C-alpha cells in the first residue's frame, strides 16, 4: 500500500528521470576515450582551475565504442561541444561533415605552425583544417637494459635493424626458460599498427595502409621482411606463448615482469614503468626498419575537434587555442612526462631530467601516420585484414599468402 | 493441474526396508550429498577467486603466474572504481533508477497483457501472442540505430526514463509469457467464486489472480532487474553525459589503459560491484519463490 | 457455469492486452519495420544512402564471412544445447527434492543466472587468460594439464572456453524449468514404479522423461534461440579470434552496423538471421504439436 507521500516521491523521481540530464547545466561538454582519460583529465582539470567561469564536463567513453557513439550522435545532430578523437578516425568524419572546419578561425594562432606535422596532416581534408593536436603519443622501442647486460649486449647500443632485433632476442632467450627476447600483443590490431607498422614504413616508399582506392595497399619489400622477422622469432620460441592471444590487455604488464628483452611500445611506457615497475632498468630507442639507417615511429594520439553539432562553438574554440599555449603544454604535458604537441617545446626542463623522455620527443620528428578512410575496417577492428594478415603470417607461417589476401581485402574496402 | 497426493507417506512407510537396503540407501545419500557439495564448490569458485583478486594490490593482480589468495590485502582496486570519473554513487543511482522504472513498467504491462491473453477470448489470440513473443528472436543490437533516431525525434534520448523504456521493451516478451502462464494456472473455481460475488474483471484480477501469481510476478521483477542492470550497449549509445552513465559502462571503461591494457584488479572489483546487487535482489526475493514457481509455464 | 459475460468479452480482453501491444509495436515492431526498409538501401551512418533493391541480399549471399559466421553459430548451438539441457536435467534430478541441501544446491546453481552476461564474460575472460588467469593454474594443480593452455589462441579451445563459461552461467535456468516439471509429476506414479521394483534410471527413462517432455522441448527451444543470437560472450572473450574463426552471426551484424557503419547491410544480415531462426522455431513447434497430438 503506498501512502500519499511515497506516491509523491515516486512522481518526483520519475520526473527527474524524464528530464534531459543537461537541462540546468550549461557547461561545455567533452568526450574522450578511456585509453586517453588519464592525461585528458589532467588537462581539463587545469582548464577548469584557470577558467572557473567556463567549466568543461568530461565524459569517458569506452574506446571500442567511441567511433560508433559519436557517429550515431552526429548523424542525429547530437553530441558534445568538444571531442577528443583518435586522429586515425579523422578522415572519415571530416568527409562526413561531422566536424567543424576551423581553418580560418585558427589562422591567427601563431602556435598552430609549431605543432606536430603528422597530427596536422591527419586533421586536414581538402586543404582545410579541422582540429588541433591534443594528446600526441608515439611508438618507440622499449628494451630491458639489465637483460641486455646479462646477455653480453651493450645496453647503450639498442638494435638498429630488424636483423639486430633478431640477434639480440636470440641471445636474451638463452638467459633462462622464462626469459624471452621479444614481446608483442598478437591479437591487438591497434597495438601492432602502432609498433609493427613503423618498422615496415621505416623503409622509404613503403605503404602500409593506402590513402584511397587508387593507391596500392601493403606496398614494399619491408612488409614481408618485418613479418618474416616476427615469424622467425615466434617459431624459435623467442616470444611467450601467451602473446598470440593478447588483445592488448597485457601490452605493458608482461614487460613489467622484467622477463622480456625488447618490445614495441609507446612513449607512455616511460612514466608507467617508473611508477609501477621502478626496479626495471629500461631504455628507449627508435623502432628500426629492416635496413641500416631506417627508423620511424607512429604518431598517434588524439586531436581536439569541435563537432559540427556543437552548441557552444565559440567557447570551444577558446579551448583549442588555449591547449597550444605554453602553460598547459609545459605544466601539464611535459611535467607529467607526456609529449607536448608543440615541437618547439620538445626540449624543456622536465624532459631534460630524463634523457629517455627526450628520445621519445625526438622520435616524433621521424614519425608518420597513415591517412586513410575506414581506418577501423582496415586495421583496428578485430576482423580487419591487417590483424588477419599478422596472425596468419606470424602464427601460421604463410607470409606470402597472408599479404596477398590482405591486399585483396584492403583494396575491396577502399574501393567499395 | 493435479495436486500431489498426500497418501504417499503411508504408502512408503507401509513397505518395510531390509537392512542391506538401508545401508545402500544411506551410502547413496552420502554420495549424493558429497556430489551436491562438489557442485556448490565448482559453481562458487569463479566468484570467490574473483573476490580474492579484487582485494589484492593492483600490481599483484596483474602478476604472472597468478596466485589464488592475496599475499597482501588492499582495497586500491575498489577505491579506483569508487572514484572513477563521476563516482560510483552516480552510476549506482542511474542503474538503480533505470532498473526500478523498468521493473514497474514490465510488471504493469505484462500483468495486464498476460491477464487478457490467459482469460479472455480474443480474436487471433495465438498470432497475437506470437507477435508479442517475436521480440525474443530479434537481435536487439540491430534495432538500436533506428530506435536512436526515433528517440531523437521524440526528445527521449539522454533521459534515464527513455533508457528504461528500451529495457522494458527488451524484457516484455519473456515477462508476458511468464505472466500468461501464471494466470492460466489459476484454478477456475477461484475465478468463478469472485464472479459470483459480483466482481468485474479488474476486481477479479486484483483479488484473485494477483495474489495467486505472486511467484510469477517476482520472477518477472527479478529478470527485469537483472537484465536492465547489466545492459550495456543501449545505455552507452543513448546516454551522452558521464553523469547519466550506468554501471556496465563504468565497468568497461574503468579497467582500460593505453592500447587496451587491462587493470585486472579493477576489472575484478568492477565485476563484483556489478554482481552484488543482483545477488542481493535474488536472495531477497527467494522467500517468495514457492518451489516450482514456473509450474504454470509447463502446462 | 460458463455464462460469465465479461469472460467472453473480447473487447475487455483487448483492453488489457492493448498497452503491451502498443508498447511492443512502438518500440520493437516499428524499428523492425524500419530495419526491413533499411535492408534495401546501402545507407551508412556517415551519411549517404541510396536504394539498392536486393543488392545487399546478393552481397550477403556472396560474403564468406556471413557463411562462416552462420556455420560457427550453428556449431556453437549444436554443441552447447545438449550440454546445457543434459546437465540441467541431471542437476534437476539431483536437486528436485525438498531437503535443505538440495534447495541450497539448487539456489547456488541458479545464482550465476542472475549476474549479467557481460560481467560473467569478463570474469571468465580473466580466468582463461593465459598470463594471469587461474583456470590454467587450477588445471595444473589438479594435474589435468602440465603446461598452461593458451585458450584463445586456438579456435576450438576458444569455443570450449566460451561454452564452459556459458554453461556455468546458464545451466541453472534449464535446471529450474526442469525442476518445476519434475515436481509436477504426481507422486503416485513414482511410487507405483518403485513398488514394482523398477530401478532409478529406468524410472527416469520411463516416467520422468516422458512426463516432462513439453518442458524439455520448451527449454531446448529457448536455449537454442538464445545460442543462435549469441554475441556478447564472443565479443568480450574471443573478440572473434583467432583470425576471425569465432565470429558469430550477431557479432558480424554488430561489426557491420556499428564498426563499419554499414547500416543497410547490417539490417539485411539481421533480417536473414531472424528469418532462419523464425523458420526453425516454426518447424520445431509444429513437430512438437504433432508429437503431442499423437
Q: Could you give phi then psi for residue C181, rounded to 5 degrees? A: -65, -40
pLDDT at A131: 93
A-C interface: how many C-beta pairs under 8 angstroms? Answer: 83
* Interface contact B54, partner A, CB < 8 A: no
Using a CB-CB distance cutoff of 8 angstroms, which residues of chain C are in contact with residue A387? 241, 243
C-alpha cell read off for B104: 514497474
Percentage above 90 pLDDT, chain C: 23
Cβ-nearest to C28 among B53, B135, B192: B135
Mean pLDDT in residue range C177-191: 82
B interface test, pick of C18, C28, C141, C178 with most B CB neighbours within 10 Å? C28
Same domain as C250, residue C172: yes
B289: three-class secondary structure by DSSP: coil
Percentage above 70 pLDDT, chain C: 96
Using a CB-CB distance cutoff of 8 angstroms, which residues of chain B are in contact with residue C183? 291-292, 295
Q: Is 50 exceeded by the pLDDT of residue B1? A: no
Same domain as C86, residue C198: yes
Q: Which residue in chain A is spatially nearest to C245 when comparing CA positions?
A: A383
Integer-rounded Cα radius of gyration of chain C: 24
Q: What is the dihedral of CA B110, B236, B249, C125, to 10 degrees?
A: 90
pLDDT at C3: 46
A interface test, pick of C121, C238, C242, C250 with most A CB neighbours within 10 Å? C242
B127 CB-near residues (< 8 Å, 6+ apart): none
pLDDT at A12: 56
Do A187 and C242 make contact, defined as CB atoms within 8 angstroms? yes
What is the tens place of the pLDDT at every residue in B162-216? 899 999 988 888 888 888 888 887 777 877 887 788 777 777 778 778 888 888 8
Using a CB-CB distance cutoff of 8 angstroms, which residues of chain C are in contact with residue A240? 131
Fold (topology level) of B78-298: MetI-like fold (1.10.3720)
How far CA B146 is from CA of B87, C27, C45, in Å, comes to 31, 10, 11
Complex ipTM above 0.90?
no
Q: How confident is the model at residue B299 (pLDDT cuts 50, 70, 90)?
A: very low
pLDDT at B270: 86
Same domain as C49, residue C19: no
Mean pLDDT in residue range B44-54: 90
Do B50 and C184 make contact, defined as CB atoms within 8 angstroms? no
Q: How far apart, in whole angstroms, are the C-alpha atoms of residue B165 and residue B218?
A: 20
DSSP letter assigned to residue A86:
E
Using a CB-CB distance cutoff of 8 angstroms, which residues of chain B are in contact with residue A79? 240
Q: Could you give phi then psi for residue A219, rounded to 5 degrees? A: -95, 130
Q: Could you give phi then psi for residue B241, rounded to 5 degrees? A: -110, 145
* Interface contact B60, partner A, CB < 8 A: no
**C-alpha distance across the termini of chain A, in Å:** 62
Inter-residue contact A263 to A184 (CB < 8 Å): yes
Inter-residue contact C153 to A268 (CB < 8 Å): no
Q: How far apart, in whole angstroms, are the C-alpha atoms of residue B255 and residue B250?
A: 9
Q: Tell me whether residue C111 is in a domain.
A: yes
Distance from CA of A38 to the nearest CA of C (A): 23
Question: Is cis: bond before B65, omega within 30 of 0?
Answer: yes
Mean pLDDT in residue range B77-92: 82
What's the mean pLDDT when you consider all of chain C? 85
Q: How far apart, in whole angstroms, are the C-alpha atoms of residue C129 and residue A250?
A: 10
Please state the length of chain C. 294
Mean pLDDT in residue range C5-19: 73
pLDDT at A4: 62
Q: Tell me whether residue C125 is in a domain.
A: no
Q: Is 70 exceeded by the pLDDT of residue B17? A: no
What is the tens place of the pLDDT at every residue in C51-96? 888 888 998 999 889 999 999 999 999 999 999 999 999 999 888 8
Do A69 and B245 make contact, defined as CB atoms within 8 angstroms? no
**C-alpha distance across the termini of chain B, in Å:** 8
Do A60 and B149 make contact, defined as CB atoms within 8 angstroms? no
Do B259 and A248 make contact, defined as CB atoms within 8 angstroms? yes
pLDDT at B12: 42
Percentage above 70 pLDDT, chain A: 94
Give the number of domains in chain C.
2
Q: For residue C221, what is the domain's CATH number?
A: 1.10.3720.10
Place of cell 557517429: A71
Q: Count Cβ neighbours within 10 Å for each residue of A184-199 and write b for 16 or more, e otherwise.
A: bbbbbbbbbbbbbbbb
Q: For residues A283 and B126, which has the higher predicted lDDT (pLDDT)?
A: A283
Cβ-nearest to C244 among A75, A254, A383: A383
Cβ-nearest to A60 among B62, B157, B242: B242
- The parent domain of residue C16 ranges over 1-34
Q: How confident is the model at residue B54 (pLDDT cuts 50, 70, 90)?
A: confident
Q: Could you give phi then psi for residue B273, rounded to 5 degrees? A: -60, -35
Mean pLDDT in residue range C248-255: 90
Same domain as C25, residue C11: yes
Contacting chains of A (3 CB pairs or more, <8 Å) are B, C
Same domain as C239, residue C110: yes
pLDDT at B60: 74
Q: Is 50 exceeded by the pLDDT of residue B4? A: no
Do A376 and C260 make contact, defined as CB atoms within 8 angstroms? yes
Cβ-nearest to C240 among A98, A376, A383: A383
Contacting chains of B (3 CB pairs or more, <8 Å) are A, C
Mean pLDDT in residue range B48-55: 88
pLDDT at A2: 52
> Is residue B9 exposed (0-12), middle (13-18) or buried (19+ Cβ within 10 Å)?
exposed
Domain boundaries defined on chain B = 3-54, 78-298
Q: Tell me whether residue C220 is in a domain.
A: yes
Cβ-nearest to B292 among C101, C183, C186: C183
Q: Which residue in chain B is spatially nearest to C249 when comparing CA positions?
A: B139
Same domain as C106, residue C27: no
DSSP letter assigned to residue C38:
H
Q: Tell me whether residue C142 is in a domain.
A: no
Q: Tell me whether residue C211 is in a domain.
A: yes
Q: Between C64-95 and C55-62, two packed helices, what is the crossing angle to 10 degrees?
A: 70
Cβ-nearest to A62 among B241, B253, B258: B253
B202-206, C155-159, C280-284: range with lowest mean pLDDT: B202-206
Q: Tell me whether residue C143 is in a domain.
A: no
Distance from CA of B258 to the nearest CA of C (A): 18
Q: Tell me whether residue C171 is in a domain.
A: yes
How far CA C117 is from CA of B271, C125, C162, C167, C231, in Å, comes to 11, 12, 12, 12, 10
C-alpha cell read off for B2: 493435479
Cβ-nearest to B158 among A21, A37, A58: A21
Do B261 and A253 make contact, defined as CB atoms within 8 angstroms? yes
pLDDT at B2: 41
Residue closest to C7 by CA, chosen among B182, B127, B192, B299: B192
Same domain as C179, residue C87: yes
B interface test, pick of A39, A249, A252 with most B CB neighbours within 10 Å? A249
Write the DSSP string, A119-184.
HHHHTEETTEE-EEEEEEEEEEEEEEHHHHHHTT--TTS---SHHHHHHHHHHHHTT-TT-EEEE-
Same domain as C19, residue C49: no
Q: Does an H or E element contain A92, and which?
A: helix A90-96
Q: Tell me whether residue C133 is in a domain.
A: no
Distance from CA of B154 to the nearest CA of A (A): 12
Percentage above 90 pLDDT, chain B: 13
Q: How far apart, in whole angstroms, are the C-alpha atoms of residue A338 and residue A355?
A: 13
Q: Is 50 exceeded by the pLDDT of residue B9? A: no
Do A71 and C45 make contact, defined as CB atoms within 8 angstroms? yes
Same domain as C66, residue C197: yes
For residue B266, how many other CB atoms are within 10 A of its CB?
A: 24
| Residues in chain A where the model's pLDDT stays below 70 | 1-26
Distance from CA of A242 to the nearest CA of C (A): 6
B interface test, pick of C11, C24, C90, C201 with most B CB neighbours within 10 Å? C24
Cβ-nearest to C153 among A97, A245, A250: A245
Q: Is 60 exceeded by the pLDDT of residue B3? A: no
Q: How confident is the model at residue B122 (pLDDT cuts 50, 70, 90)?
A: confident
Q: For every residue of C56-78, which 3-state class applies, written as one string?
A: HHHHHHHCHHHHHHHHHHHHHHH
* Interface contact C41, partner A, CB < 8 A: no
Cβ-nearest to C47 among A96, A246, A374: A96
Inter-residue contact A162 to A180 (CB < 8 Å): no
Same domain as C29, residue C161: no
Inter-residue contact B112 to C20 (CB < 8 Å): yes
B-C interface: how many C-beta pairs under 8 angstroms? Answer: 263
Cβ-nearest to A71 among C65, C152, C261: C261
Residue A264: beta bridge partners? A141
Using a CB-CB distance cutoff of 8 angstroms, which residues of chain A are in contact with residue C153? 241, 244-245, 395
Same domain as C97, residue C20: no
A-B interface: how many C-beta pairs under 8 angstroms? Answer: 129
A 175-194 residues with CB below 8 A of C? 187
C115: three-class secondary structure by DSSP: coil
* Interface contact B62, partner A, CB < 8 A: yes
Same domain as C211, residue C174: yes
How far CA A193 is from CA of A187, A240, A377, B265, in Å, comes to 12, 20, 13, 28
Amino acid at each position: 500500500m503506498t501512502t500519499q507521500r511515497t506516491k509523491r516521491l515516486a512522481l518526483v523521481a520519475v520526473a527527474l528521470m524524464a528530464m534531459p540530464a543537461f537541462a540546468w547545466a550549461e557547461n561545455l561538454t567533452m568526450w574522450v576515450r578511456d585509453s586517453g582519460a588519464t592525461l585528458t583529465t589532467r588537462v581539463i582539470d587545469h582548464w577548469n582551475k584557470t577558467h572557473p567561469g567556463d567549466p568543461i564536463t568530461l565524459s569517458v567513453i569506452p574506446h571500442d565504442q567511441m567511433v560508433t557513439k559519436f557517429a550515431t550522435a552526429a548523424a542525429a545532430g547530437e553530441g558534445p561541444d568538444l571531442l577528443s578523437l583518435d586522429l586515425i578516425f579523422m578522415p572519415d568524419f571530416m568527409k562526413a561533415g561531422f566536424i567543424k572546419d576551423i581553418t580560418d578561425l585558427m589562422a591567427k594562432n601563431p602556435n598552430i605552425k609549431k605543432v606536430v606535422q603528422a597530427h596536422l596532416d591527419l586533421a586536414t581534408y581538402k586543404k582545410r583544417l579541422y582540429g588541433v593536436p591534443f594528446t600526441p603519443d608515439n611508438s618507440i622501442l622499449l628494451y630491458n637494459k639489465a637483460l641486455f647486460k646479462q646477455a653480453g649486449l651493450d645496453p647503450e647500443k639498442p638494435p638498429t635493424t630488424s636483423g639486430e632485433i633478431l640477434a639480440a632476442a636470440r641471445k636474451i632467450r638463452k638467459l633462462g626458460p622464462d626469459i624471452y627476447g621479444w614481446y608483442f600483443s598478437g591479437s591487438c590490431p591497434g597495438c601492432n599498427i602502432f609498433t609493427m607498422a613503423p618498422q615496415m614504413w621505416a623503409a622509404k616508399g613503403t605503404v602500409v595502409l593506402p590513402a584511397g582506392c587508387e593507391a596500392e595497399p601493403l606496398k614494399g619489400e619491408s612488409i614481408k621482411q618485418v613479418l618474416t622477422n616476427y615469424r622467425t622469432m615466434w617459431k624459435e620460441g623467442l616470444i611467450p606463448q601467451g602473446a598470440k592471444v593478447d588483445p592488448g590487455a597485457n601490452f605493458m604488464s608482461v614487460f613489467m615482469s622484467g622477463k622480456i628483452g625488447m618490445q614495441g611500445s609507446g612513449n607512455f611506457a616511460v612514466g608507467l614503468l617508473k611508477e609501477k615497475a621502478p626496479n626495471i632498468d629500461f631504455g628507449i630507442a627508435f623502432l628500426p626498419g629492416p635496413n641500416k639507417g631506417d627508423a620511424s615511429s607512429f604518431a598517434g594520439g588524439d586531436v581536439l575537434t569541435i563537432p559540427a553539432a556543437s552548441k557552444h562553438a565559440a567557447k570551444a574554440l577558446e579551448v583549442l587555442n588555449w591547449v597550444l599555449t605554453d602553460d598547459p603544454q609545459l605544466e601539464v604535458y611535459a611535467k607529467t612526462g607526456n609529449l607536448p604537441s608543440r615541437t618547439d617545446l620538445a626540449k624543456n626542463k622536465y624532459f631534460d631530467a630524463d634523457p629517455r623522455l627526450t628520445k621519445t620527443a625526438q622520435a616524433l620528428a621521424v614519425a608518420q601516420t597513415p591517412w586513410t578512410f575506414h581506418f577501423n575496417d582496415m586495421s583496428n577492428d578485430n576482423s580487419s585484414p591487417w590483424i588477419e594478415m599478422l596472425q596468419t603470417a606470424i602464427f601460421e607461417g604463410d607470409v606470402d599468402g597472408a599479404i596477398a589476401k590482405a591486399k585483396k581485402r584492403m583494396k575491396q574496402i577502399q574501393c567499395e | 493441474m493435479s495436486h500431489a497426493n498426500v497418501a504417499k507417506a503411508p504408502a512408503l512407510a507401509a513397505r518395510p526396508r531390509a537392512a542391506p537396503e538401508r545401508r545402500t540407501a544411506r551410502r547413496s545419500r552420502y554420495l549424493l550429498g558429497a556430489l551436491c557439495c562438489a557442485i556448490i564448490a565448482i559453481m562458487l569458485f569463479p566468484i570467490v577467486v574473483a573476490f580474492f583478486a579484487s582485494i589484492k594490490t593492483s600490481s599483484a593482480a596483474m602478476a604472472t603466474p597468478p596466485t589464488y589468495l592475496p599475499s597482501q590485502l588492499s582495497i586500491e582496486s575498489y577505491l579506483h572504481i569508487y572514484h572513477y570519473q563521476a563516482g560510483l554513487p552516480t552510476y549506482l543511482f542511474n542503474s538503480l533508477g533505470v532498473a526500478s522504472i523498468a521493473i514497474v513498467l514490465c510488471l504493469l504491462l505484462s500483468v495486464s497483457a498476460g491477464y487478457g491473453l490467459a482469460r479472455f477470448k480474443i480474436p487471433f489470440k495465438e498470432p497475437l501472442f506470437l507477435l508479442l513473443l517475436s521480440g525474443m528472436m530479434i537481435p536487439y543490437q540491430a534495432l538500436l540505430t533506428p530506435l536512436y533516431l526515433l528517440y531523437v525525434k521524440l526528445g527521449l534520448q539522454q533521459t534515464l526514463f527513455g533508457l528504461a523504456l528500451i529495457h522494458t521493451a527488451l524484457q516484455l516478451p519473456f515477462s508476458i509469457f511468464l505472466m500468461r502462464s501464471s494466470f492460466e494456472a489459476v484454478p477456475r473455481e477461484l475465478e468463478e467464486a469472485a464472479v459470483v460475488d459480483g466482481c468485474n474483471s479488474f476486481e477479479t484480477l486484483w483479488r484473485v489472480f494477483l495474489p495467486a501469481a505472486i511467484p510469477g510476478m517476482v520472477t518477472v521483477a527479478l529478470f527485469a532487474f537483472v537484465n536492465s542492470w547489466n545492459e550495456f550497449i543501449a545505455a552507452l549509445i543513448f546516454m551522452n553525459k558521464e553523469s547519466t552513465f550506468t554501471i556496465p559502462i563504468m565497468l568497461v571503461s574503468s579497467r582500460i589503459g593505453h592500447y587496451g591494457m587491462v587493470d585486472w584488479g579493477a576489472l575484478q572489483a568492477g565485476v563484483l560491484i556489478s554482481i552484488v546487487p543482483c545477488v542481493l535482489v535474488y536472495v531477497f526475493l527467494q522467500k517468495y519463490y514457492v518451489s516450482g514457481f514456473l509450474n504454470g509455464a509447463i502446462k | 457455469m460458463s455464462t460469465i459475460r465479461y469472460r467472453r468479452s473480447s473487447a475487455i480482453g483487448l483492453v488489457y492486452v492493448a498497452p503491451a501491444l502498443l508498447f511492443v509495436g512502438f518500440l520493437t515492431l516499428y524499428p523492425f519495420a524500419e530495419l526491413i526498409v533499411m535492408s534495401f538501401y546501402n545507407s551508412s551512418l556517415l551519411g549517404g544512402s541510396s536504394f539498392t533493391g536486393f543488392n545487399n541480399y546478393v552481397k550477403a549471399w556472396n560474403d564468406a564471412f556471413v557463411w562462416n559466421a552462420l556455420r560457427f553459430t550453428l556449431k556453437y548451438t549444436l554443441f552447447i544445447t545438449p550440454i546445457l539441457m543434459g546437465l540441467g536435467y541431471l542437476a534437476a534430478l539431483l536437486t528436485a527434492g525438498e531437503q535443505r541441501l538440495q534447495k541450497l544446491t539448487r539456489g547456488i546453481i541458479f545464482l550465476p543466472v542472475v549476474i549479467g552476461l557481460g560481467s560473467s564474460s569478463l570474469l571468465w575472460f580473466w580466468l582463461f587468460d593465459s598470463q594471469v588467469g587461474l583456470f590454467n593454474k587450477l588445471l595444473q594443480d589438479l594435474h589435468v594439464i602440465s603446461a598452461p593452455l593458451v585458450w584463445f589462441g586456438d579456435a576450438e579451445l576458444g569455443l570450449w572456453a566460451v561454452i564452459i563459461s556459458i554453461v556455468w552461467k546458464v545451466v541453472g535456468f534449464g535446471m529450474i524449468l526442469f525442476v518445476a516439471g519434475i515436481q509436477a509429476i504426481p507422486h503416485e506414479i513414482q511410487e507405483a514404479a518403485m513398488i514394482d521394483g523398477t530401478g532409478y534410471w529406468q524410472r527416469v527413462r520411463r516416467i520422468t522423461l516422458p512426463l516432462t517432455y513439453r518442458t524439455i522441448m520448451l527449454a531446448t527451444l529457448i536455449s537454442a534461440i538464445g545460442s543462435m543470437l549469441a554475441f556478447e560472450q564472443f565479443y568480450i572473450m574471443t573478440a572473434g579470434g583467432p583470425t576471425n574463426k569465432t565470429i558469430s552471426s550477431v557479432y558480424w551484424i554488430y561489426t557491420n552496423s556499428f564498426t563499419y557503419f554499414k547500416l543497410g547491410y547490417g539490417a539485411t544480415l539481421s533480417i536473414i538471421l531472424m528469418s532462419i531462426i523464425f523458420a526453425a522455431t516454426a518447424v520445431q513447434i509444429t513437430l512438437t504439436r504433432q508429437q503431442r497430438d499423437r
